[in-house]
C-alpha cells in the first residue's frame, strides 16, 4: 500500500503539521496558535468527534486548514475489521465531513498508523491517499513538555510530516515552543497539499 510519510523536497525548508483525533475542546487553542504564526495545518478528524463538535470542525475549515479522514470510531479493533467494515468507517466519516463543510476529502490516516490487507483493499475502493508521518511526537504518551519538544525538533528535516494530537493543552504548549524553533531555523509550515503536491479535496 502506498503511503506518504514525508515530502520529496530535500532542500527547501518546509514541513507539515498534522493533528489527529479531533475535533475536541482543545482544538480551538491550537487554531489560535496556528493563526498567530500564519501557519496552515491538517486535521485528521474522527467521525464521532465531529458529531460532538461540529462547530469546531467548521471553524477549523473556515480558518483555512485541511481536513482528513481518521475513521468514524477510531476503534482499537480497527486492525481486525473486515474490508467492508473499514469501508463503512471511511465512507460514513467522509459523508459527515461533506455534510458539515461541503468538501470531499481524499486523504486518510489509519488509526494508530496500522495497515493490513483489509485496510489496503478498503482504501483501494475508496481511493483515498494514505498519509503517514516521519516524526511521531508521542504527545499522548510523554508528559514532559521539554522532552516532547526536543523529541520533535531533534528529528525535523526538510519535508517532515509531524504527527500530533489536538487532544490536550500539553500539545498546545509544545506547539507554541515548536514555532519558536521553526522560526529560528527558518522552517516554513505548509499544508499537506503543498508539501506532497497532491489534491486533498475532490474537485
Ligand atoms: Zn488517532
Domain carrying residue 86: 3-196
C-alpha distances in angstroms, 39 versus 3, 12, 21, 43, 152? 24, 16, 20, 13, 17
- Is 203 part of any domain? no
Q: Which residues are catalytic?
A: 20, 165
Q: Ligand 1 centroid to 106 CA: how many Å?
A: 17
Partners of residue 15 on adjacent β-strands: 189
- Is 201 part of any domain? no
pLDDT at 95: 98
Q: Ligand 1 centroid to 203 CA: how many Å?
A: 26
Helix locations, the chain, DSSP H: 27-36, 47-52, 54-62, 83-101, 117-126, 145-153, 169-184, 192-196
Q: How many domains does the chain have?
A: 1
Cβ atoms of 105 and 200 within 8 Å: the answer is yes
CA distance 174 to 155: 15
β-strand pairing of 42-45 with 161-165:
unpaired
CA distance 203 to 104: 8
Q: Ligand 1 centroid to 192 CA: how many Å?
A: 17
Q: How does pLDDT run along the chain (203 residues), one tens digit per residue?
A: 889 999 987 789 999 999 999 999 999 999 999 999 999 999 999 999 999 999 999 999 999 999 999 999 999 998 899 999 999 999 999 999 999 999 999 999 999 999 999 999 999 999 999 999 999 999 999 999 999 999 999 999 999 999 999 999 999 999 999 999 999 999 999 999 999 999 999 98
Q: Which residues surround ligand 1, an ion (CB under 5 A)?
A: 20-21, 111
Q: Ligand 1 centroid to 111 CA: how many Å?
A: 5
pLDDT at 55: 98
Find the CATH number of the domain harbouring 83.
3.20.20.370
C-alpha cell at 168: 490536550
- Is 202 part of any domain? no
Amino acid at each position: 500500500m502506498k503511503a506518504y510519510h514525508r515530502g520529496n523536497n530535500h532542500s527547501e525548508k518546509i514541513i507539515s503539521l498534522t493533528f489527529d483525533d479531533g475535533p475536541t475542546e482543545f482544538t480551538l487553542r491550537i487554531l489560535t496558535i496556528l493563526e498567530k504564526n500564519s501557519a496552515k495545518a491538517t486535521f485528521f478528524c474522527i467521525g464521532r468527534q465531529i458529531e460532538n463538535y461540529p462547530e469546531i470542525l467548521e471553524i477549523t475549515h473556515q480558518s483555512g486548514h485541511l481536513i482528513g479522514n481518521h475513521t468514524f470510531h477510531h476503534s482499537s479493533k480497527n486492525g481486525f475489521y473486515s474490508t467492508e467494515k473499514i469501508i463503512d468507517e471511511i465512507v460514513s466519516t467522509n459523508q459527515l465531513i461533506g455534510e458539515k463543510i461541503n468538501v470531499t476529502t481524499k486523504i486518510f490516516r489509519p488509526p494508530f498508523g496500522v495497515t493490513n490487507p483489509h485496510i489496503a483493499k478498503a482504501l483501494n475502493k475508496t481511493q483515498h491517499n494514505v498519509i503517514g508521518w516521519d516524526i511521531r511526537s508521542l504527545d499522548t504518551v510523554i508528559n514532559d513538555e521539554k522532552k516532547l519538544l526536543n523529541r520533535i525538533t531533534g528529528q525535523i528535516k526538510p519535508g517532515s510530516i509531524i504527527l500530533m494530537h489536538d487532544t490536550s493543552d500539553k500539545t498546545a504548549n509544545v506547539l507554541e515552543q515548536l514555532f519558536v524553533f521553526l522560526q529560528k531555523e527558518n522552517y516554513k509550515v505548509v499544508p499537506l497539499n503543498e508539501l506532497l503536491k497532491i489534491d486533498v479535496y475532490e474537485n
